[in-house]
Amino acid sequence: MTNQAPLIDPFARAITYLRVSVTDRCDFRCVYCMAENMTFLPKKELLTLEELDRVCSAFIGLGVRKLRITGGEPLVRRDIMTFFNAMGRHLETGALDELTLTTNGSQLERFADALFAAGVRRVNVSLDTLDEEKFARVTRWGRLAQVMRGIDAAQNAGMRVKINAVALKGFNEDELFDLVDWCAARDIDLTFIEVMPMGDLGNENRVGQYWSLTDVRDRLAERFTLMDLAERSGGPARYVRLTETGQKIGFITPLSHNFCESCNRVRLTCTGELYMCLGQENRADLRAPLRAHPETDAPLAEAVRAAIALKPKGHDFDYSRQRADGQVSRHMSHTGG
């Protein structure tokens, strides 16, 4: 598709960042992301790898410069490297600036070299604890040693690794400095994320889990000198540098600080639904025009533009009244983080 006028939402924000969930399946069952006994989507509802190529290429033709692949766990999708290799062609032409992924790390040992060959230079790994027993508890099915080998493989392949740690009250509060020190020793950046009210997870108490990153930052300031950084990575994180170690720490704060004013991203699910905001239910169906018009992407591009015209100003997650106000019903794995 030839480049057309860029995607601009109603609040004059250019949409240059697409997050794509390639599967709702995962080999972990993290307590803040999935129920233990998940019912996954039937295969016919999922976009094929060829359809994912078409829709991502359409977005790139409309000005998207950054593509982040998510899941579920993206690397458990069969033949997923076919898709990564296909997207690599847009890096080669210069149409795409960055191809990256967020992963639980379980399959990185297998795929790190192939991902680097496809053009992936950065990878985000979700890791909330360095304690093997606690890791097994929070992921339900996960094995910490396997993830650690994956992180080693990613670094050895030449990729820059960033750890994403969800701040969970009563769970990893006591590991704050352990996580910081471990990342500093390995030259790995670290971002903390506030737990978000998404999905019906049974007995999981979101209000009880919520640990404000304002408190995390205050705790860090007791030991380190924090220097605010102006940089943005195209995502919602705000960064500081720890003067003593030189490392970069990010904070993603959908609850204690709404980051919507600079939002430049939308999210595509593995079924072809486009969510214009992570914290809202409004969405657009891109699968229908994709499948109805296999010979042309023009109707798909029109559907994308119509969806961007409905992008809201922001979300309204709120725990201040001791309940998960602004909660959305879908699981995080459905939207892709």
What gap in Å lies between CA 115 and CA 159, rounded to an integer?
9
Whether 308 contacts 276, CB under 8 Å: yes
Closest listed residue to residue 199, CA positions, set 335, 315, 25, 41: 335
List the structure tokens of 60. 């790139």
Other C-beta atoms within 10 Å of 51: how many?
17
List the structure tokens of 140. 């339900």
Find out whether 56 is annotated in a ligand binding site. Answer: no
Find out whether 266 is annotated in a ligand binding site. Answer: yes
Find out whether 210 is annotated in a ligand binding site. Answer: no
Find out whether 277 is annotated in a ligand binding site. Answer: yes
What are the phi and psi torsion angles at 50 (to 5°)?
-65, -40
Per-residue buried b or exposed e for 245-255, using 16+ beta carbons within 10 Å of the residue's own CB: eebbbbbbbbb
What gap in Å lies between CA 59 and CA 53, rounded to an integer?
10
Cα-trace Rg, the chain: 19
Could you say which DSSP state residue 267 is in?
E
Give the torsion sign (CA, 165, 178, 112, 78).
negative
Find out whether 270 is annotated in a ligand binding site. Answer: no
Find out whether 329 is annotated in a ligand binding site. Answer: no
Find out whether 330 is annotated in a ligand binding site. Answer: no
What gap in Å lies between CA 212 and CA 144, rounded to an integer?
26
What gap in Å lies between CA 83 and CA 174, rounded to an integer?
40
Residues contacting residue 139 through CB under 8 Å, at least 6 positions apart: 28, 29, 30, 104
Find out whether 314 is annotated in a ligand binding site. Answer: no
Residue 234 gets the label, from left (phi > 0), alpha (psi -120 to 50) or beta, of: left
Find out whether 68 is annotated in a ligand binding site. Answer: yes
What gap in Å lies between CA 79 and CA 177, rounded to an integer?
39
What angle, rounded to 10 degrees, do the helices at 176-185 and 213-223 form?
A: 60
Q: Which residues are annotated as a binding site for GTP?
A: 19, 68, 102, 162, 265-267
Q: Which residues are annotated as a binding site for S-adenosyl-L-methionine?
A: 32, 72, 126, 196
Q: Which residues are annotated as a binding site?
A: 19, 26, 30, 32-33, 68, 72, 102, 126, 162, 196, 260, 263, 265-267, 277
Q: Which residues are annotated as a binding site for [4Fe-4S] cluster?
A: 26, 30, 33, 260, 263, 277
